[in-house]
Amino acid sequence: MSTAWARADQPLAEYFTQAHDAGAKVLHMVSTVPEAARAAEAGADAVVAQGTEGGGHVGLMGTMVLVPMVARAIAPVPVIAAGGLADGAGLAAALMLGAQGALFGTRFLATTEASIPQAYKQLLVDSDGHNTVVTELPDIANSTVWPGAYARIERNRFYETWAGREGELRYRHVEAAASAWRALEAGDTDNAFLYTGQTAGLIDTIEPAGVIVERIVTDASERLRGTGLTD
């Protein structure tokens, strides 16, 4: 069971116990050290430390700093790095920072298996990684603002239309959200909100997920030879 962005009043220990009783492992994603400590104390089997480079909901601290801080704070609970990772170099770096693994998001949107419009996948391939912004606009439109979270999305017409008009968007959120979701279904990448990490700049092809995984592991293993982290 994977969870994230818990409110202060949510009983994480109760949720995690229910998952464990059902035979599931628990991953909890965090963007700060206090959140990581809370998750570890509640019984998470592993904590995902996600830096602000990631797509979708993120905090404001970078992966390079957050991962080692979390790893030190909650040892021996395993830490999984996320945010800004898309290739073997990213996986190797995550392990060197003290993580036991890595979670890749945006990289696997540009796969043959991903159930998103082809235009969205192609946008990731064409991106240089510089055209994303951190904003609350998608959450305001969906009326689901999460505590302490922002959304990293593509800077497109949807963003340009509503940036600086958050008050109006709160009033018109039903109409705006419906329009954005229709745009996504139609493959209209200008008028949908597209969750996109900065790693889009590292994505050059749309491939099967299995091919990507094999290449990432092979590349990371080659980079880590002689460091003591791989045989």
Q: Is the peptide bond before 76 cis (omega within 30 degrees of 0)?
A: yes
Tokens, residue 169: 């968007």
Place of tokens 């993580």: 99
One of 20, 28, 57, 130 is an active-site residue; which one? 57
C-alpha span between 34 and 70 (Å, rounded): 9
C-alpha span between 128 and 123 (Å, rounded): 10
CB of 151 within 8 A of CB of 138?
A: yes
28 is catalytic: no
- Stated length of the chain: 231
Which helix (H) or strand (E) element contains residue 63?
helix 63-74
The residue type found at 197 is: G
Of the candidates 72, 172, 68, 187, the residue with the CA atom closest to the CA atom of residue 121: 187
CB of 103 within 8 A of CB of 124?
A: no
Residues noted as catalytic? 57
